[in-house]
Structure formats: structure tokens, C-alpha cells
Amino acid sequence: MIFIKYKVTKRSLSLSLARERERERERERERERERERERERERGERRERERERERERERERERERERGERGERGERERERDREREREREREREISLERALERERERSLSLLSLSSLSLSLSLSLSLSLSLSLSLSLSLSLSLSLSIYIYIYIYIY
């Protein structure tokens, strides 16, 4: 009887562990899909910024053609170069911040997985110790019953 209960308990624990693992895998897949959507959105934003810069350059070239002044052209070109460099620096900072955020998310998910694993192993350990104590209890009560029976039979 205890053996059957132990098998049923063990099987139900195994099933709940498997379900929990599957749920965690699904959550991880959803997080990965979310990260991919974020990357796609970032790519779209970068493309849009690049198109806008190209339009701005084209407008600036048109203005340069209209002015036709060489002295001012050199100064404006240097200013544009400085502006491009500042823009690149801002993009690098944003990229680094996003990379750090993704790394934090990964660390947190690993931490949650390890705590889940620990709690599941603790519950399995408790279940096994409960099962063992029940077995010992049954064994003791069976031994006591046999001694009482022998005692009654002899006297």
C-alpha cells in the first residue's frame, strides 16, 4: 500500500516537475521572442535615422550648391563631421545600455531558474523523507504486531 502511494507520489512529482520545466521553457521562449521583437524594432529605428540623416545630407548639399561659397563650405563640412561623430557616440551609448539591460535580464532569468530548481529539489527531498518515515513507521507497527501476536500465542 505504501509502495503504491510512494509510486503515485513520485509520479505526480515527476509530472509536476515536467510541467514546471515546460512552463519555464515557454516563458524563456516568450522572452526570446520579445528580445527578437526589440532587436527588430531597434533595426527599424536605425534604418529610419539613417534615412533621415541621408535626407538631411541631401538638403545640406542642395544648400551648398546654392551658396557656392568655398570658405563656408569647409567650416560647415567640419561641423557636420563633428555632428556625425556625436551621433555615432550617442548610438554607441544606447547600444551599450541595451546590451547591459539584456545581460541583466539573462542573469535574473538564470537566478530564477536556479531558485526554482533548488525549491523543486527540496520538495522532492522532503517528499522522499516523508515516504521513508512512513515506511519506518509501518515497519515498526508491523514488528510490534508480530511481537504482540507471539506473546499472546505463547501465553
Long-range Cβ pairs for the range 132-136 (8 Å, 24+): 134/2, 134/5, 135/2, 135/6
Per-residue pLDDT of the chain (155 residues; tens, 9 = 90+): 454 555 556 667 677 777 888 889 999 999 999 999 999 999 989 999 999 999 998 988 887 777 766 556 667 778 888 999 999 999 999 989 999 999 998 888 888 888 888 888 888 888 888 888 888 888 888 888 888 888 888 87
Prediction pTM value: 0.37
Cα separation values, 32 from 13, 40, 44, 80, 105, Å: 28, 12, 18, 39, 11
Where are the domains positioned within the chain?
A: 2-123
